[in-house]
Structure 1
Amino acid sequence: MAESKTDRSRYPSHPAQVRSARHHAEQVLRDWGVGDSTTDAVLYVAGELASNAVRHARTLQGREFGMTLRLLESIVRVELRDPDPTLPTEVAPGEDLEADGGRGLLIVERLASSWGSAPEVLGKTIWADIPLEIAESGADRATLCADGAS
């Protein structure tokens, strides 16, 4: 099995940092040679999870959220950790889709091959696995994962 690549970053809990997290993720994925459709899906998922950490998780100003990207053989895993222990909830079928919140996780579920959450000693981690497509560079997955792993 090829060695994976990992990138970890932390951001202050402020709405403007959602864009910073997405921008950082885009640069990392480009450096890793991840294809456009996978990158687009990862950026959407990362943005949604970061936005939830700032807005819905009630992450206090002065606190941080952390994002980890993992390039594995067939997926890019996005992990977002915040200090709020409340696990995410989705909008149930038949609920008011005009209500504020809940729909983003439905979209995460559609983009990810799997996703979930786990309680941590302080807070929680929410993760999503996005199927990997390779950029037109012609590199295979084993080469992507092994070359320059961090």
Structure 2
Amino acid sequence: MKSTYMQCVVPSVGPAVLRGQRGALRRKLAAWGLGRTACEDILLVTGELLANALDHGTPPVRVVFTQSRTMEGRLVHIEVADAGTGLNTGLVRATWRHPSFSLAEGGRGLLIVDTLAASWGDVPTDGGHTVWADVDCVGAGVPARQ
């Protein structure tokens, strides 16, 4: 089963806008029956992807959340799209493995995404690109069937 929560366009950035969207997502995740750990993981991954889109991308920024329930588990699929150029995920991951890599130089956001998400990537689109991540809610303490 799949259910899409939200498809929204982020017209501007600011603490009030982001706080409101974070609150709306938190309420929806709770309504989906996701526990605190899963909600926090999803909110953190979303925040990192959204921050990258707002800092490095080109408006408009679109965010989509989809929940999938299968026999194996439950996933929340997060997509953050903007009109900018994409990123080379292979190069990002290779940078983390390079001996000269330091967290002091930045790059922590996608490393957090890589740690919390079951998988993530970047897909080019006609109008820009979409960075996506799948958060495994079963791994965050949510039973597959609820």
TM-score (norm 1): 0.77
Q: Distance in 2 between matches of 1:44 and 1:84?
A: 22
Which amino acid in structure 2 is aligned with residue 80 of structure 1?
A: V
Aligned position for 2:67: 71
The answer (yes or no) to whether the contact 1:114–1:128 under 8 Å persists in 2 is yes
- 1:82-97 equivalences in 2 (<5 Å): 82-87=82-87, 90=92, 91-93=95-97, 94=99, 95-97=101-103
Higher helix share: 2
Question: Which sits farther off after the overlay, 44-53 or 83-92?
Answer: 83-92
Percent identity, aligned pairs only, is 33
Map residues 14-93 of structure 1 onto 2, 5 A cutoff: 14-16=13-15, 17-57=17-57, 59=58, 63-73=59-69, 74-87=74-87, 90=92, 91-93=95-97
Which is richer in strand?
A: 2
Cα deviations across residues 37-96 of structure 1 (Å, max 9, x unaligned)?
A: 111100000000011111122x2xxx3211111110121111111111232553423313
How far apart, in 2, do the equivalents of 1:131 and 1:22 lie?
A: 19
Distance 1:15 1:84, change over 3 A: farther
Task: Select between 43-52 and 64-73 the one with higher mean Cα deviation.
Answer: 64-73
Deviation at 1:27, TM superposition (A): 1.9
Instruction: Indicate how the Cα distance of structure 1 residues 112 and 39 shifts in structure 2: closer, same or farther if over 3 A, else same.
Output: same
Scaled by the length of structure 2, the TM-score of the pair is 0.78
Instruction: Indicate if the aligned counterparts of 1:22 and 1:46 stay in contact, CA closer than 8 A.
Output: no
| Aligned partner of residue 80 in structure 1, secondary structure | strand
* 1:67-146 superposed matches below 5 A: 67-73=63-69, 74-87=74-87, 90=92, 91-93=95-97, 94=99, 95-99=101-105, 101-133=106-138, 140-141=145-146
Which SS does the other structure have where 2:104 is aligned? Answer: coil
Aligned-partner residue type, residue 128 of structure 2: G
Distance in 1 separating the partners of 2:51 and 2:14? 7
Describe the shift of the 1:120–1:20 C-alpha distance in structure 2 as closer, same or farther (beyond 3 A).
farther
1:98 counterpart SS class: helix
Q: CA RMSD in A?
A: 2.5
Structure 2 Cα separation of the partners of residues 45 and 88 of structure 1: 18
Stretches of structure 1 lacking an aligned partner (at least 5 in a row): 142-150
